[in-house]
Structure 1
Amino acid sequence: MTVQPYIPEELPPDTINWESHIPQIASANRALARYDGILNAIPNPELLLSPLLTQEAVISSRIEGTQASLKDVMKFEANPKDPISDASLADIQEIINYREALRTAVDALKSQRLDLPLICKLHKILLTGSRGMNREPGCIRAIQNFIGRDAHIEHAIFVPPSADSVPGALADWVEYLQHEEKDVLVQLSLLKAQFELIHPFSDGNGRIGRMLVPLILYKKGLIGNPMFYISDYLEIHRPLYYERLLAISRDRDWNGWISFFLHAIEEQAGTNGRKAREILDLHNEMKQTIPEITRSQYAVAAIDALFRTPIFTPSEFYDQTGIPKKTGNRILQQLREQEIITILAEGSGRRATTYLFPRLIAITEGDRL
């Protein structure tokens, strides 16, 4: 039987059982508040948590089929002239685009509202120069798309709304985005699901949908910095993630999705908070250790460079810190001797040695190591 195009309900749907969600709403909001408290305690979260941003880009892209790891991306950025397969390069470009789009959004939201033109701009960044560059980057689709096991729509698992109904569905979505709801996390769950069900772009809908989570949390005032990374939970529970979304279109089961999403927020807030605290503790430890090891006026600059770019070449280290080459080499040697950094790839010929700050990478990747 051919699946018919999904007809979006107006938001909020009238089937929400608010009372049944009260315990989960309370626990998810508490977990998010604890995470926000940790974020507020970090002196420079954009610097210290930058590896977590790259890891979010890696995992969100992996849900869509890329294979590159955090180390692959950072190693490529440290040595972009190293030989690499076309497939690996395409994966890495998608991840770099995702990170660039999220950074663009964070900068934009300091002075403007989250709206459809900004979302289209993020989509354009996401797809430009990547495998999706021929899928109308930044443009709302004018064709029927579908999700399936092959290229035949009659075999589709899910068929989004027809192209002519997308503008109206998006207008309702934007109106609800600006709406004051009883609980922001429930509102966010509805917005994320509806966006992915509308599937307004020809490609990249899942990645944009996941990107919207920290942006909406930030604009709605639930976190003071738009750094909340949910893709880890969604990738681990990918079959259930897709089934909960599909159940909305198939059975109008919004409550099952809301319950799943609130649990995702609660669990991921705990994971994000633990990683952020471990990174802050590591930073505090390095502020004590590296000045003692190096006895250098450049110790603080060296620490910042390690946290900003935990996989790097010597030239990258000199450029980021402004440390003269001779002094920089001495500092790198001292850090190696104390096993603060290790060699990821030995240099040979014109290729520079690539260094690794292993403890930061270990925290960032967590159980995925």
Structure 2
Amino acid sequence: MPTPLERISIPIEPVSFETLDWRPRAPEMHSRAEVARQTGSYRASIAASICGWSPRLGAEDSSDIEDATRRLVEFDGHAQRALGTDSPALGPMTAILLRTESASSSQIEQLTTSAKQLALAEIDEGEKHNALTVIGNVRAMEAALDLADEVSENSILAMHRALMLHQPGFDPAAAGCYRSEQVWIGPGEAGPRTADFVAPHHTRISESIHDLVRFAKREDVPVLVQVAVAHAQFETIHPFPDGNGRTGRALAQSILRNKGLVGSTAVPISAGLLVDVGRYFTALGAFREGDAGPIVREFARASRIAATSGIRLVDDLAAQLSESRSRLQGLRSDAAAWRILPALVAQPVVNTTYLVRELGLGEMAALRSLKALAERGVLTEVTGRARGRVWQHGGILGILDDYAAEIRRMSTW
């Protein structure tokens, strides 16, 4: 049986090339041999226009895309049914799915962190570098959904700005700005002449992004095909000095929401891509060579994984919420602890500052509520300090870490 990468192709115009000259900018920083290798002409990619492209899909791919689309819609509906559309936990559930998607997207870039460290970073506790960086990805995903009413050049720039303003060491002035120099992927410290992929020259970025946006606005392309191809084209353009992969996966979420395929939740598609990162990168390479089939199939496959694992995640979190709710029986119906409980789905590590800021509680009311939640076994105080205390919901953190471990196990199958 052929593998997904061996199926019939979905033709798309490949990248072309232009020959440019390169001289290392800081030759004193490199060996003479490397400077010699990187001095001279090189070939930079030129992204083909996709705004008028129409996919030629075979019967198997059409069926695959239709099935994956149906699964995503079912997942979105299941999240609403599991919690109820009027549930105060539906918003937090969306937030935690978005954070899960952000963590998986970051892990593709070798940025890993635990659910606890990520939650600590959200309340300005902990000092884990990766957690702080992943928070930037959360902000980019939030921007993607907030700006999904219109997929535009400005919304793409806003996603990148939200991402990179939270990345330690990145120049804030460059956040949300296109790169102003040549970039490449693969070998070559002093220049692009030995690179695996040389992105388009920076003078071509704006025109290519405008073309991509026109493609994303079309209504005559199957949504998953549109998402996959727009993402691959964005990665080919590589418009930013850093954060292209994470911004490109945020763009995928924005298009899914913009087209109305999902409405109540974020979809953890990056978790599906994370199962086989090598195949995902190979599919991006095939796209640049003129075959959109592999990347379309990767997104269809990732969507099925996202839907299946996402349903389990929603059910497990809903069960934790129900168990915690049962522990609060007998507490006054107007007690602030009831307001805190659904928020724990999105933020399973809290302190009084967070509750005051996000829920509008007074500091004393927040402390009394945290005490009540701890006495009833819903939360555990984890610092042992008299001041600056932090409480966590161990059950929710355990579910989130189990979910991440399941995705890692799937990658070894």
TM-score, normalization by structure 2: 0.77
- Which residue of structure 1 lines up, in the alignment, with residue 254 of structure 2? 215
Residue of 57, 61, 65 corresponding to 1:17: 57
Does residue 305 of structure 2 align to residue 260 of structure 1? no
Q: Identity rate of aligned residues, in percent?
A: 24
Which stretch has the larger CA shift, 148-157 or 168-177?
148-157
Unmatched runs of 5 consecutive residues or more in structure 1: none
Q: Is the 8 A contact 2:140 2:247 kept in 1?
A: no
Q: CA deviation at 1:64?
A: 2.2
1 CA distance for matches of 2:45 and 2:379? 52
Aligned position for 1:28 = 68
Residues of 2 paired with 1:302 and 1:261: CA distance?
36
Q: Is the 8 A contact 2:151 2:217 kept in 1?
A: no
1:36 deviates by: 1.6
Deviation at 1:358, TM superposition (A): 1.4
User: 1:266/1:129 Cα in 2 relative to 1: closer, same or farther (>3 Å)?
Assistant: closer
Deviation at 1:281, TM superposition (A): 3.2
CA distance in 2, matches of 1:116, 1:127: 17
Q: Once structures 1 and 2 are overlaid, which stretch shifts more, 283-292 or 195-204?
A: 283-292
Task: State the match for 2:155 in structure 1.
Answer: 118
**What is the match of residue 66 of structure 1?**
111
Distance 2:226 2:234 in 1: 12
For residues 203 and 117 of structure 2, the distance between their equivalents in structure 1, rounded to whole angstroms, comes to 41
The counterpart of 1:244, out of the listed 253, 271, 283, is 283
Taking the aligned partners of 1:366 and 1:297, their CA distance within structure 2 comes to 32
The residue aligned with 2:134 is 95
Decide which moves more: 49-58 or 254-263. Answer: 49-58
CA shift at 1:24, angstroms? 0.6
**1:255–1:3 CA distance, 2 compared to 1 (3 A):** farther
The count of corresponding residues between Structure 1 and Structure 2 is 358
Alpha-carbon deviation of 1:255?
Answer: 1.1
**Closer/same/farther in 2, CA of residues 129 and 14 from structure 1, 3 Å limit:** closer
Query: What does residue 347 of structure 1 align with?
Result: 385
What's the CA shift for 1:147?
A: 0.9
CA spacing shift, 1:78–1:137, aligned 2, 3 Å: closer
| Residue type of the alignment partner of 1:155 | T
Amino acid at match of 2:312: R
Separation (CA, whole Å) in 2 of partners of 1:3 and 1:275: 48
Is 1:47 aligned to residue 92 of structure 2? Answer: yes
| Residues in 1 aligned to 2:78 and 2:261: alpha-carbon distance in whole angstroms | 13
Structure 1 residue 206 displacement after superposition = 0.5
Q: CA offsets per residue over residues 173-206 of structure 1, 9 Å max, x none?
A: 1111111224111111111111111111121110
Q: Give the one of 188, 194, 198 matched to 1:159.
A: 198
Residue of structure 1 in register with 2:398 after alignment:
362
Which segment drifts farther, 269-278 or 6-15?
A: 6-15
The 1:218/1:226 distance shift into structure 2, 3 A limit, reads farther
Q: What SS does the corresponding residue of 1:6 show, helix, strand or coil? A: strand
1:108 to 1:248, Cα distance in 2 relative to 1, 3 A: closer
SS in structure 2 opposite 1:114?
coil
In 1: Cα distance, 2:111 partner to 2:188 partner = 18
Q: How far apart, in 1, do the equivalents of 2:346 and 2:205 lie?
A: 40
Per-residue displacement from partner, 1:283-336 (whole Å, max 9, x unpaired)? 334333313367873331231343342112355446655666666556544543
User: Counterpart of 1:124 in structure 2: which amino acid?
Assistant: R
Aligned CA RMSD, in angstroms, stands at 2.9
1:127 and 2:167 are equivalent in the alignment = no
Quick one: distance in 1 between partners of 2:157 and 2:362?
43
